[in-house]
Each structure stands twice: as structure tokens, then as C-alpha cells.
Amino acid sequence: MDDPAEASAPRTVGGYRLVRSLGRGGFGEVFLGEAGDGSRAAVKVLHASWSGDADMRRRFAAEVEQARRVSGFCIAAILDADPEAEQPWIATEFIDGPTLQRAVAEEGPRRGMELQRLAVNTATALAAIHAAGVVHRDLKPDNIMLAADGPRVIDFGIARAVETTSVTASGVVGTIGYMAPEQLEGARLTSAVDVFSWGAVMVYAATGREAFQAPTQASRIARILSGGPDLEDIAEPLRSVVERCLDKDPDRRPDASSLLNLLIAGPQGGGPAPGVAVHPAPVPVSGVDPTRVAPAHGVDPTRVAPVHGVDPTRVVPSHGVDPTRVAPAHGVDPTRVAPPHGVDPTRVAPPHGVDPTRSYTGLAPAGPAAPAAAGTATPPPGPVSAPRPGPGNTGASGYHTGVGGVPPYHFAGIRFTDPGALAEAMQGNWAAAVRVFGDATERAALGAWLMDDLGDTLVDRSLFRRHADDANLALASFIAQTRPDLPPVFRGRGATMTDLGGLFSDPRPVITGAPMSNEMALLARPEVLRTMGLHHAPDPAAHQRLADSLDAAEHAGNTFHQELSGRLAGWRSASPNVNPALILTFLLHPELMVPPHDGGDSGVGEWIDILWRRVDASPGPAGVGHAAAIYGAVPTLQALSRQRRYWEERYTKVATEHESLHGKVVQQQRYFQIRRYCNYALFGFPIGIVIGMSGQAEWLGDLLVTLSVLALAASVVLSVVLRVGYGDVVRRGQRVMELNNAAAQLPELTSGVERIRADLVHARRITGG
């Protein structure tokens, strides 16, 4: 149930009269404000919970002052602010138009030049914001307004002001779906987070869906951290630019100025574009890339020496060969560099007599390996997996090793011929390994080595043949299938039942939204737990049972929320927030499953008491799910409590005013009527005089004269009483209007209060209380 519109006189903040609410967010509520000269502004009044934080006020004042220096194009300029007010507020330019979020939802994705203008204007705004030393940190479609003269970025400079204050205990600053990986992991943040968010915003603008779309919050986080964005429907050249902005590594993203140059230059295809540094691949042993042509003396080794007048970026052709290719030796496939002694220097030298196009596959026959040809790159030194004792000289995973013709796989500079040893190394260097599984080309190369070269039959082929939305889970699955004897690990953290019990021993990170909660959310997924259960353990089914309980609890929690939102008027707009990490905490530590704190709000406490009866009545995973649903609904309970106080206080005030005004108005109207009758009685005075002078019925004339005199006196007295006790004519008329206004409000307020009380009654029935 939303708060009603203000029924009393409009509230004033600073020099702005607040006309109506425009929306409510995590930091405060935005109103349409009108200044004395009739100009309009968007006035954001920050939540009252900020008022007691002196450090926040200091930071907010500094950030607002810094934000004032941002150039006014492509942004909603800051007009005024007061961090020292009872409730801090900030007034910005009012943009009369929809948000990008609403426009795309109602009208569909942006296309063509409209999308290009949106990209350039928002990148320009970012460049201006960053040039002033401000980081937005919550750039999203809801913070981009589509004005008649172009898009504007709003709400910059506020998220940074509150990020390090105590009020951020309610959650991490930002919006999942548009947050950079380093934001989700609680790392040091730079302006690169805004560039990542810009890329995600452009995906939404162009496609109508999030770049890292997934059904649950945990899976969205996982995909942002290790999966690839969905850029399928974005056309070039924007696609290449967006892809660079969504790089996991903030150092590889362009800054805002380079981003703007990219958009203006309009790069074609997926090649390097102006203004973006291309990071070279690691230099192999001996310092020479064996895939490149040796340069002439003194020539830049990254380029082939040009012929006079020839484009220096192209290789000089020979004998009619396509000049875009390296000139081959006679009779050699012109698409490949001629190897010395007939061996491709980019591949492992095959045994003598083996078809060089097959030497890298499992089709190559066994035989003694040929010595490396002169000039061929030598594999870097490193441990080679030692074979386990057993027939056939097999390695840790049962694969034949040490036999001629088996090609190696290089990971993190180490040469591997046994998948089991590779899996163990990947588990120990998770960050490097997840980059392999997060890159489609690298993942396919690993799959080709396993399936084609080694003839693997153990690992699920889908890990390499399908798009991996969650590279962490794909990596964990590969390790579990290849080396189930290893202890379970996920994202570098131990995932035995004991490890999980330690990690999920404190619900506070989940409740407050601390960065650790994202890590816990990634682990608290049934599919992850089932994958961890593939490892050997004292109780092989423990992870499976925990995953099943998590599934059942999450389903029960969501069902409970749907029941409340379907039957209670105040819950209809509430979104479900059943946190699997909190469920896992309660499953592993039932003693921690206690009702949430009401924060000293008796209204919240009443709701918690009513809802918690369902927890007490539901044993096992269902009760845990209900508890998590109640914790997730605390913001809804706080809103309901505020609304209840508002409606009841407003009802009490209006009802009291109505009763008081009604008594006064009735009395004032009674005196006014009496005075009117007295004024009518004054007409008896001349009539009495006439009758008395006629000599007939003198007593009647005297009576009329006496009554007239008394009426005159009464009229004077009543005029004084009305003036002193009830004000002048204008005030008495205003009192009647106030009574009519109160009478008009009472039905709506009465209905609102009754709906709120009815929700409490229905909630008691739902929970059996």
C-alpha cells in the first residue's frame, strides 16, 4: 500500500515547495519541487536515518560541493543542497521525461542513430563526471532520464558520499546487474566501475534485457564475476566497444574519455580501436613469439618491414600472394608460416613420419618423439604430472602419460600431460583457471585437448560445447569430475561440510549486505553444493542432502511470500527476497534462526510476531525458508509500519480536527443564526412606534419597541462574541471550508486504516495465530 498524497498544506524544503512524490529509492525520496519564481526541481530528501551520522553529513557536503563542479551538459545539474538540514536534501534540475528503464520497458529497445546518440551522450556525461573527480557508482537505466533535448545522467555523487558511512550497513552501494566484478567482491573501486555499468546499460538499451541476465541473484552475481555478457543482438561497431567496457579486469577497460573517442571514431568489427590499449599476450620462452615472422635487423619486431610506398601495416606479398598474408616459401600453404625442417614451430614437434596436421590429436600413432628442431620454442620449465603406479604407466586420472605423441597443455606457464594434475593445479590457482573457463576460445581449446588429443571419456562434454554462464561452476565441475579425490573447493574457498559450517556461521554479512554476502550467495546454490558432493568425503551424501534442503527451503520461502502478497493488500507491490545464503546459514546452524530485530519499531515487531508463528509451526527446511522470507521482508515490514503510523496519525489528526471544527462551526453558526433573528426583530421598533402613535393597542407598540431594543442589544453582544471567539467573517468562512475538507478526507483515511488493520487480521489467519 503506497503512502497517500499529502492532504495537508504542501511541505517546504529549502526554497522549494514539494508538490508531489516522484519516486522512492534506497537513499531517500524524490519530490517535484517548485521555487518561488515558478521554476521546478527534483528534490531528493534523504532518509531520516542519516540525520544522526555526523561523518555522513561531512562526506555528503564534500561530495555535493565536488559534484557542483561537473559541467552541466548531459547531466541533471545540482541547483542547491543542505547537508546540515534535519533531513539532508539535494535539489537538481528537473528532467521532464521518462527514465531509460521505463522507456525501454514501454516502447522497446533503442535502435540505430537513437542508440548511438544515447551512447555518445551518456559517455559524455561520464567523462564530465569523472573529470570533476566524481565516481557515480550506481549508473543504471533508472538513473538516465530521457529529456526532450537528450538523455541526462542523474544521482551522481551521492553513492560515493554514503559508501563508507555507517548507513551503508543496509547493503552494498550499487544495483546488481550493473555492478562491476570489483564492486561485488568488495575490492578497491575506481572510475572503471562506471565504465562497466555504462556497458551494461547499453546492453539493456539495445536489447531490453540485462547483460548478465539470470534467474536468481546468486546466478547473476556468478555470471558477472565469471561468465560472459549476452551481446547477441547488439550490432557493430557498438558491440566491440561494449565488450571492452564489460571486461572483468578494470585495467583493461577504456576510461571515459577513451570510451567517448571510441564511439566518435566508430570502430568497425572486433579489431583494436583508437584510444584503447591492447595488452600483448605473454611473451614465450626465449622472448620470441614463434607464431610471428622474424623481423629484419633494427625493425620493430612486432611489424614486418615495408617496401617503399607500401602500407607499412601489411606484409609485402611475393609472387602474386595475397598481400594480407605472410609470404610463404614455395609450395607451402600461404596461410601458414613455413616451419624449419618441415615442423610447424607453433606446434609440438611430432614423431618422425607423422602427418604434421595430425600430430596434435589423439590420431597420431605412438612412437618416439622427434627432437625439437632448431629455432623451435622450447616449452617453459615446470612440473610434469608424475604417473601413478599401475599398468600402462597411467597418470592420476588414468590417462597414459610419458608416451610419444601425447601433446601437452600449458596452464599458468606449466606444462601438463595429465588432466588430473591439471585439475589440481587449476584448483590451486582458481583465478587463472576461471579465466580459461570464462573465455569461449580457451575453454574450447581445453576441451579439444581432453577429447581429441587424449580421448577423454570422463568429463562431461557440455562443459566445453555449451555457453558457460557461470565459469566458476564449470571449473568446479571439471575438477570434481577429473579429480574427485581432491577436497572440494569453490572460488578458492574450502567447501567441505566443516568449511561450509565455518563460512556460514554468522548471518550478519547476509543481513547487512556486506561484500562477503556475495561470496556466500555464490556458494549457497544447490547446483554448487551438488558439484561439491562429487568429491570424496566421509559422508558422500551430505552435500546432496544439504542441496535438497536448500531447494525445499527456498521453495517454501517463495511460496510463503506469494501467499502474503496474494492475500494482503499492503504486500501486493513487495518483491520476494528469500536469500539462499541466509537459508544455508540457518540449515547449518539452526540455533541462529531467531526472529529479526525490530529496530525499536513496535509496528515492525507486531508483524514479526505474527509472521514468525508460521516458522514455529513449520519444522525442517520449510520453517527455514519461512524464516528467510521474513528476514527478506523486513524492508516491507518497515514500510508497512511507516504507512500504518502515517495513516493512523493522519486519521487521528483529521478526526480530532473534524470533531473540534464541527463543534466550533456548529456553535458559530448557531450564534450567527440568533444574531440574524435579532436583526430581523429590529423591524419591530418602527412598527411599535407607529402602533403607539395611533392610540390603539398601545401595549402592543410598547412590547414591540422593548423587544426591538433587546434584540439590538443581543445583536451587538453576539457580534462581539463572534468576532472575539470565532474571528472575522473571513476566518469563520475558512473554518467552514476546513471542516468540509476534513470531512472529505475522513472516508479515505478511515478506509486506509481499516485496510491496514484488516491485513494484520488476515496475516494472523494465514500464520494460524
pLDDT digits (tens, 9 = 90+) for 28-61: 678 888 887 888 888 888 765 555 566 666 767 7
For 382, phi then psi, to 5°, come to 165, 165
- Quick check: 336 pLDDT over 70? no
pLDDT digits (tens, 9 = 90+) for 457-477: 889 998 998 887 788 999 999
Q: 41-55, 239-253, 362-376: which has the minimum mean pLDDT?
A: 362-376
Average pLDDT over residues 80-84: 80
Is residue 539 within 8 A of residue 497, CB to CB? The reply is yes
Cα dihedral 372, 377, 378, 381 in deg (nearest 10): -170
Q: What does the alpha-carbon distance between residue 421 and residue 409 come to, in Å, rounded to a whole number?
A: 11
pLDDT single digits (tens) 576-618: 889 999 999 999 999 999 999 988 889 999 999 999 999 999 9
Distance CA 713, CA 184 (A): 84
- CA nearest neighbour of 685 among 708, 667, 662: 708
Q: Are 136 and 155 in contact (CB under 8 A)?
A: yes
For residues 518 and 185, the answer to whether their CB atoms sit within 8 Å is yes
pLDDT classification of 267: cutoffs 50, 70, 90: very low
In order, the DSSP letters of 388-427 are PSSTT-B-TTS-B-S-TT---EEETTEEES-HHHHHHHHH
Binding annotation for ATP: 44
Interatomic CA distance for residues 429 and 491, integer angstroms: 9
C-alpha cell at 282: 605473454
Q: Give the tens place of pLDDT for each residue, 638-695.
A: 888 888 888 888 888 888 888 888 888 888 888 888 888 888 888 877 887 887 777 7
SS3 at position 34: strand
Model confidence pLDDT, tens digit, residues 513-546: 777 888 898 899 999 999 999 999 989 899 999 9
3-state secondary structure of 493: strand
Name which of 51, 19, 45, 46 is nearest 34 in CA terms. 19
pLDDT at 157 over 80: no
Confidence of residue 138 (pLDDT cuts 50, 70, 90): confident
CB 380 within 8 A of CB 412: no
| pLDDT score for 40 | 85
- For residue 156, give every residue at least 6 positions away whose Cβ sits within 8 Å of its Cβ, in sequence order, or none: 67, 70, 75, 129, 134, 136, 143
Measure the CA–CA gap between 215 and 212, rounded to whole angstroms. 10
pLDDT bracket for residue 319 (50, 70, 90): very low
How far from each other are the two terminal CA atoms of the chain, in whole angstroms?
23
Write down the pLDDT at residue 730: 84
Binned at pLDDT 50, 70 and 90, residue 204 comes out as: very high
Could you tell me the pLDDT band of residue 252, with boundaries at 50, 70 and 90?
A: very high
Which set of grid coordinates corresponds to residue 488? 572440494
pLDDT > 80? residue 152: yes
Please check whether residue 327 is in contact with residue 316, taking contact to mean a CB–CB distance below 8 angstroms: yes
Q: Which pLDDT does position 278 carry in this prediction?
A: 38
Please check the confidence at residue 67 and state whether its pLDDT lies above 80.
no
Residue stretches of the annotated binding site: 44
- Known catalytic membership, residue 460: no
Type and span of the H or E element at 558 = helix 542-567
Q: How confident is the model at residue 120 (pLDDT cuts 50, 70, 90)?
A: very high
Q: Using one digit for the tens of pLDDT, what is the confidence trace for 483-500?
A: 999 999 999 999 999 999
> Which tens digits make up the pLDDT trace of 419-442?
999 999 999 999 999 989 988 899
Centroid of chain to Cα 52: 27
- The Cα 306–Cα 65 span in angstroms is 55
Q: Does pLDDT of 481 surpass 90?
A: yes
Mean pLDDT of the chain: 76
Instruction: Render pLDDT for 703-723 as a digit per residue (tens, 0 to 9).
Output: 888 888 888 888 888 888 888
Q: What is the pLDDT of residue 474?
A: 92
Instruction: Specify the pLDDT at position 29.
Output: 74
Fill in the amino acid letter for 617: A
Residue keyed to cell 550478519: 508
Choice among 37, 82, 96, 138 that is catalytic = 138
On the 0-12 / 13-18 / 19+ scale of CB atoms within 10 A, 277 is: exposed
Query: Quick one: pLDDT at residue 41?
Result: 84
Distance (Å, whole) CA 140 – CA 25: 13
Biggest CA–CA distance in the chain, Å, is 158
Provide the 8-state DSSP code for 469: S
pLDDT band at 63 (very low <50, low <70, confident <90, very high): low
Burial class (CB within 10 angstroms; exposed 0-12, middle 13-18, buried 19+) of 298:
exposed
Q: How far apart are CA 348 and CA 416, in angstroms?
A: 13
**Alpha-carbon gap, residue 476 to 491, rounded angstroms:** 8
If we measure between CA atoms, which residue out of 265, 240, 113, 242 comes closest to residue 178?
A: 242
> Given this model, what pLDDT does residue 400 score?
41
Distance CA 719, CA 722 (A): 5
Average pLDDT for 123-132? 88
Q: Is 90 helix (H, G, I), strand (E, B) or coil?
A: strand
pLDDT value of residue 487: 95
**Residue 390 reports pLDDT greater than 90:** no
Give the torsion through C-alpha atoms of 721, 726, 730, 735, to 10 deg.
-150
Listed in sequence order, the residues at least 6 apart from 687 whose beta carbon sits closer than 8 Å to its beta carbon are 701, 704
User: Can you tell me the distance from the alpha carbon of 573 to that of 639, in angstroms, rounded to the nearest whole number?
Assistant: 11
pLDDT of residue 468: 78
Binning pLDDT at 50, 70 and 90, where does residue 769 land? low
